[in-house]
Amino acid sequence: MSPAGRKYRNLAVYLLFLAISLSIYSRAFDNGFRQDDHVFLRHVETNSFAESLRPSSDFTFYRPGTLILFRLVYGFFGRNSGAFIAFNFILHVTISLLVLLLLGKLFSSRILATLGAGLFLVGFGHYGKVVMWACCCGQLTSVMLSVAGILASLSWVENRGGHGSRRLLAAAILLMTSAGLFHESAIVTPAVAAIAVLAGRSRGDPTGRGSIALLLLPVLPLLLMNLILSSTRPVYQPGAERLLHVPVYLVRYAGFSIVPLQKTGMVPVSPLLIRLFGAAPVLHLAAGSALLAAMGFLAVFRRKGLRTLGIWFPLAVLPFTLIAMPEGWLQLRYLYLASIPLCGLAAAGLYGLADGRGNPARILSNVAVVIITLCTSALVLLLERHYAGF
């Protein structure tokens, strides 16, 4: 296939994923506000702009960027919840485009990058819950800035000390610092950027360890501030006993990204569901162990793009293993950032089936992509239906 033909093929594949994604999320545009949405609404309606930026007992973590963004969106749309969700969807599409660029840099393969971005777009690994909550606009913005920061870091390496290199480094640090103002999960972004930079370096590369260390600095003050603010809250108590549970929770979170089973009163009870919910912990541990083992293999033995993604996933999940939520610590919205490397790895595995192995394997990989997309879409529609009245 000619380069122009491949370009149009990749565009057609992405537009197909975009159409599926829009058909899924447009059903949520008429949903009302729910749960934490009302906390944010009450906060911006009862406080002045300056007061709304102060740490409040309404919030466990300090997210000044999110509060400013929510206030701005509220100023435009008021209590129109559908407009909030539509705005979130636009952010989600923007992130998918950044993921497309990022995977293109990591893999040097447009079709593989398109598949990964497409899986992320339809909700594989996070199942769209973040997009359907109005108050998650800040989390989406944080992820958008985080991915942009990693992209800037990789561009800085490719520039190899040329004109504008310092500006790229400054942009990377600024983007990652800004991401931390919107959501605390951004604390992993500098580490991911540093790993990607180290993996992409070659001998004679002018980017030294001292410069790479700068990528690890941006969110340290924000992390310290959040630890101080949240240390008095029961939701975040990383004591010695809690730390011992982290490995088990990490494995279960990894498994939950593939097998999103969690007991909930919003799903009609049936004998089959009761059995599935009862077996969920075992299924999570089995699937999570297999996934993390595969990522460990990719991180050690495979090319740099897979190595970066293989380390990124557990790093993105790790902060949430310290959240003390005994009944509901598994949350789909916490997996949004981690789903980016998961989609990239899934695309690489599926595309690998067709890499130099003939037409049958190529057909099998295409069928696998279709099955994953259909199953993910069906699950998102099911979740959207049950969360609609929540």
Q: How far apart (Å, rounded) are the C-alpha atoms in residues 164 and 156? A: 9
For residue 282 the two structure tokens come to 């075992």
pLDDT tens for residues 167-178? 888 888 889 888
CA gap 23, 3 in Å, rounded: 30
pLDDT, one tens digit per residue, over 217-240 is: 777 777 766 666 665 555 555 555
CA gap 336, 313 in Å, rounded: 11
Handedness of CA 35, 40, 45, 47 (dihedral sign): positive
pLDDT at 288: 82
C-alpha–C-alpha distance, residues 157 and 169, integer Å: 9
| pLDDT at position 185 | 82
Look at residues 107, 139, 113, 138 and name the one whose alpha carbon lies nearest to residue 126. Answer: 139
| Measured distance CA(387)–CA(32) in Å, rounded | 10
- pLDDT of 96: 94
Which tokens belong to 300?
């050690």
- Cβ distance 169 to 211 under 8 Å? yes
- Residues 6 or more apart whose CB falls under 8 angstroms from that of 302 comprise 310
| 32: exposed, middle or buried (Cβ count in 10 Å: 0-12, 13-18, 19+) | middle
Q: Cα-atom radius of gyration of the chain, to the nearest Å?
A: 21
What pLDDT digit, counting tens, does each position of 108-154 carry? 778 888 889 998 998 888 877 788 888 888 889 999 999 999 998 88
Q: What is the pLDDT of residue 35?
A: 74
**pLDDT at 220 (0 to 100):** 73
> Could you say which residues of the chain have pLDDT below 70?
1-6, 55-58, 60, 160-164, 200-211, 224-243, 262-278, 299-303, 322-330, 352-390
Q: Which has the closest alpha carbon to 84: 22, 127, 131?
A: 131
SS3 letters for 250-284? HHHHHHHHHCCCCCCCCCCCCHHHHHHHHHHHHHH
Whether the CB-CB separation of 73 and 84 falls below 8 Å is answered with: yes
Report domain extents, the chain.
3-387
What was the pLDDT predicted at 326?
Answer: 43
Q: What is the pLDDT of residue 307?
A: 81
